[in-house]
């Protein structure tokens, strides 16, 4: 077992060294290209360059074999879209390899500490999910910020339309006046339109990049208006007002459900807190539950009932608006 642990540690260090070298090599190449362009501008000469490829390319990993392996999997497309929504520049392969390394280290550590294979499997699953949990957390944080900026951005678009500007000009004003993340997403939509993509296709791409129900209402309203006609400025202004009202209703519901959420937290922590207090005051009192077969059955049954109760409480206090 120590030999296996040493091999795993060595493999992890080799992986980190290769990743560092690849990042540093890419950074040095970019610096050399920038310096070459600058020198060409100063000497009034064209920089030496090969044929230009304007096709947008996207890789799931810098390693060719891993990129091919991930591109053949169905689940990578949704995770790659989640990375884009979280605005994480690192490719998916980095998180996949990090997940594998954490899973192996977690399983080996628990196996060496306790000798229990079942706990080692659970530890591997827990540590393997940490990178993807962080991705989803960053995505949720960014989407919440986008949702907060959206009403003010739509108001700016509506005022621009009333002043006689085009819809594209209104989106450009949002890209100039607002901060991230709405600035980046609206500017990317304008770039797609400038490169020849139709407005509706660019808005569909915006919906794909941003997971926001309020934005979906806005895009669907624009599609309906383009087919049936109507006052676009008034439609955009009404959508902004509707989003603000949803925010108010959501805050009111959160206040009314605060007591239930607090009670759910207390009921979830209470069994573990009582068990910890008993273990501290009388260390041998709970040993029978872990050593006797009937005690272990009671623990599994009580754990299952607790999990069922937590899911029921979570369903009761989560109210979608």
pLDDT, one tens digit per residue, over 144-188 is 898 889 899 999 989 988 888 888 888 888 888 888 888 888 888
Q: What is the pLDDT of residue 43?
A: 58
Question: Do 181 and 77 lie in a common domain?
Answer: no
Is 307 inside any structural domain? yes
Q: Which residues does 196 contact at the CB level (< 8 Å), separation at least 6?
A: none
- Of 138, 163, 196, the residue at which a domain comes to its end is 138
- Print the domain residue range for 96: 2-47+71-138
pLDDT surpasses 80 at 49: no
> Highest-confidence range of 111-125, 126-140, 307-321, by mean pLDDT?
126-140
Domain membership of residue 89 (yes or no) is yes
Are residues 7 and 99 part of one domain? yes
C-alpha to C-alpha distance for 321 and 318, rounded to whole angstroms: 10
Within this chain, do residues 149 and 277 fall inside the same structural domain, yes or no?
no
Taken in order 92, 141, 81, 205, the sign of the CA dihedral is: negative
Choose between 160 and 15: higher pLDDT: 160
Residue 58, domain member (yes or no): no
Domain boundary among 233, 255, 277: 255
The band of 41, judged by pLDDT with boundaries at 50, 70 and 90, is: low
How far apart are alpha carbons 189 and 197 in whole angstroms? Answer: 9
* Residues 7 and 134 grouped into a single domain: yes
Do 85 and 30 reside in the same domain of the chain?
yes
Q: Tokens 């520049």 label which residue?
A: 89
What's the whole-number mean pLDDT along residues 253-260?
A: 83
pLDDT of residue 245: 87
Q: Is residue 53 part of a domain?
A: no
Return the minimum-mean-pLDDT range out of 34-38, 68-72, 94-98, 296-300: 34-38
Q: Which residues lie below 8 Å from residue 135, measured CB to CB, with a gap of 6+?
A: 79, 82, 83, 86, 88, 95
pLDDT of residue 180: 85
Percent of the chain with pLDDT over 90: 1
Residue with tokens 């795993």: 8
| Average pLDDT over every residue of 251-268 | 85
Cβ atoms of 91 and 76 closer than 8 Å: no
**123 and 171 housed in the same domain:** no
Please give the pLDDT value at position 54.
45
Quick one: 28 and 130 in the same domain?
yes
C-beta separation of 128 from 95 below 8 A: no
Average of pLDDT values for 2-20? 55
Give me the residue label for tokens 């009034």.
Answer: 44
Q: How far apart are CA 301 and CA 259, in angstroms?
A: 28
181: preceding bond cis by omega (within 30 degrees): yes
Question: Alpha-carbon Rg of the chain, whole angstroms?
Answer: 27
CB 118 within 8 A of CB 138: no
**Where does the pLDDT of residue 47 fall: very low under 50, low under 70, confident under 90, or very high at 90 and above?**
very low
56 lies in some domain: no
pLDDT at 39: 62
Rounded CA-CA distance 131/88 in Å is 12
**Average pLDDT, integer, range 81-109:** 84
Cβ density class 177-193: b for 16+ within 10 Å, e for less: ebeebbbebbeebbebb
**236 shares its domain with 263:** no
Sign of CA dihedral 16, 19, 25, 28: negative
Give 237-243's long-range contacts (Cβ < 8 A, gap of 24+). 237/154, 237/155, 237/158, 239/154, 239/214, 240/150, 240/151, 240/152, 240/154, 240/155, 240/158, 241/151, 242/217, 243/147, 243/150, 243/151, 243/154, 243/214, 243/217
pLDDT value of residue 74: 78
Considering the domain architecture, whether residues 107 and 205 belong to the same structural domain is answered as: no
- Tell me the DSSP string of 194-234: HTT--HHHHHHHHHHH---HHHHHHHHHHHHHHHH---HHH
Residue 191 falls inside a structural domain: yes
Count of the separate structural domains present in the chain: 3
Q: Average pLDDT of 60-87?
A: 77
Query: Is 64 part of any domain?
Result: no
In three-state form (DSSP H/G/I as H, E/B as E, the rest C), the secondary structure along 31-49 is: HHHHHHHHHHHHCCCCCCC
Examine the fold and report which residue of 138, 157, 178 is the final residue of a domain before the chain moves on. Answer: 138
Considering the domain architecture, whether residues 91 and 149 belong to the same structural domain is answered as: no
Residue 34 belongs to some domain of the structure: yes
What was the pLDDT predicted at 57?
58
Distance (Å) of CA 193 to CA 10, 46, 168, 172, 202: 50, 30, 9, 11, 6
Residue 225 sits in a domain of what CATH number? 1.20.81
236 and 194 inside one domain:
yes
Query: Does residue 6 sit in the same domain as residue 134?
Result: yes
Mean pLDDT across the stretch 213-233?
Answer: 84
Place of tokens 């939509």: 189
């Amino acid at each position: 077992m120590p030999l296996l642990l040493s091999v795993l540690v060595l493999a992890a260090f080799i992986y980190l060294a290769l990743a560092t070298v690849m990042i540093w090599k890419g950074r040095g190449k970019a610096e050399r290209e920038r310096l070459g362009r600058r020198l060409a501008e100063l000497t009034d000469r064209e920089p030496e360059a090969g044929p230009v490829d304007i096709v947008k390319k996207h890789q799931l990993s810098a390693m060719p074999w891993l990129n091919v392996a991930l591109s053949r999997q169905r689940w990578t497309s949704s995770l790659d879209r989640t990375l884009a929504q979280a605005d994480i520049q690192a490719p998916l392969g980095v998180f996949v390899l990090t997940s594998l390394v954490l899973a192996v280290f977690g399983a080996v550590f628990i196996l060496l500490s306790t000798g229990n294979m079942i706990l080692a499997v659970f530890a591997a699953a827990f540590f393997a999910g940490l990178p993807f949990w962080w991705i989803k957390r960053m995505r949720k944080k960014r989407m919440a910020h986008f949702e907060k900026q959206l009403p003010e951005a739509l108001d700016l678009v509506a005022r621009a339309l009333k002043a006689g500007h085009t819809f594209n000009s209104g989106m450009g004003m949002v890209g100039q006046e607002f901060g991230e993340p709405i600035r980046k997403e609206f500017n990317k939509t304008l770039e797609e339109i400038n490169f020849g993509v139709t407005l509706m296709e660019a808005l569909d791409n915006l919906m794909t990049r941003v997971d926001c129900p309020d934005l979906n209402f806005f895009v669907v309203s624009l599609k309906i208006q383009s087919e049936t006609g109507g006052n676009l400025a008034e439609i955009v202004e009404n959508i902004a007002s509707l989003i603000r009202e949803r925010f108010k209703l959501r805050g009111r519901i959160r206040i009314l459900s605060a007591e239930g959420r607090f009670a759910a937290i207390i009921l979830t922590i209470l069994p573990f807190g009582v068990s910890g207090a008993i273990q501290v005051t009388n260390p041998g009192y709970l040993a029978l539950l872990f050593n006797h077969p009937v005690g272990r059955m009671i623990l599994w049954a009580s754990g299952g009932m607790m999990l069922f109760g937590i899911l029921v409480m979570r369903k009761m206090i989560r109210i979608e608006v």
